Amino acid sequence: RKCDVLNRGISGYNTRWAKLILPRLIPESTSADSIVAVTIFFGANDSALKELNPKQHVPLEEYTANLKSMVQYLKSVDITADRIILITPPPLQESAWEKACLAKGDKLNRCNATTGQYAQACVQVARECSTDVLDLWTLMQKNQDFSSYLSDGLHLSAKGNSFLAAQLWSRLENKLSALPALLPYWRDVDHTNPEASLL
């Protein structure tokens, strides 16, 4: 009851494409005061191996530059660094993803070590741009068998989404705590005269 959540997750995109469409998603005319937080969650597609997935692959240096460019754009429309949260790609469970690739007639087109380099670059961009960062790649691997966080070795499972939500919530909670509730808690609604509480 405090915020609207606008999800602009676009399947298969990389930072090269996201950088181009960001001004359409958050135009300059946006009232920055109304934005509590923006998350930027890329790298799983950028880190695809160039020779096996050239369409989605973005070189590491360009990935880094694209993330910086997106942060700079947000700052240019008055979304301050303390409201920007970068999220690294999750780890890749290679054997499960290889199975998914083979089922489509493809070869394994990603590897976890490469994804880790992109995750480290994301952490470094956050440090340089003074934004918060959620290092999903490292956090998920603290659980030695992180495969349960992934549905097919690449994409998050229900458990992985819950893990991400819990980690993200710890970063959002402080930003949201001071905001007023837009509607009363249900126990506070006068059930005999709901108009008095809700209008």
Closest to 45 measured CA to CA, from 165, 155, 145, 136: 155
**pLDDT on residue 134:** 98
CA 11/CA 92 separation, integer angstroms: 17
Would you call 1 helix, strand, or coil by DSSP? coil
Place of tokens 């602009």: 8
**pLDDT on residue 174:** 84
Secondary structure of the chain: what % helix, strand, coil (to 5)? 50, 5, 45
**pLDDT on residue 60:** 98
Place of tokens 């290092």: 135
Contacts with 148 (C-beta within 8 Å, 6 or more apart), sequence order: 157, 159, 160
**H/E run at residue 134:** strand 132-134
pTM of the model: 0.92
Q: Of 3.60.20.30, 2.60.40.1180, 2.170.130.10, 3.40.50.1110, which CATH number belongs to 15-197? A: 3.40.50.1110
133 strand-pairing partners: 86
| Domain ranges, ordered by start, for the chain | 15-197
* Residue ranges in the chain whose pLDDT is less than 50: none
**pLDDT on residue 96:** 96
Structural tokens at position 199: 């209008």
CA 138/CA 197 separation, integer angstroms: 46
Helices (H), 5-90: 15-25, 60-76
Would you call 158 exposed, middle or buried from its count of C-beta atoms within 10 A (0-12, 13-18, 19+)?
Answer: exposed
**pLDDT on residue 32:** 87
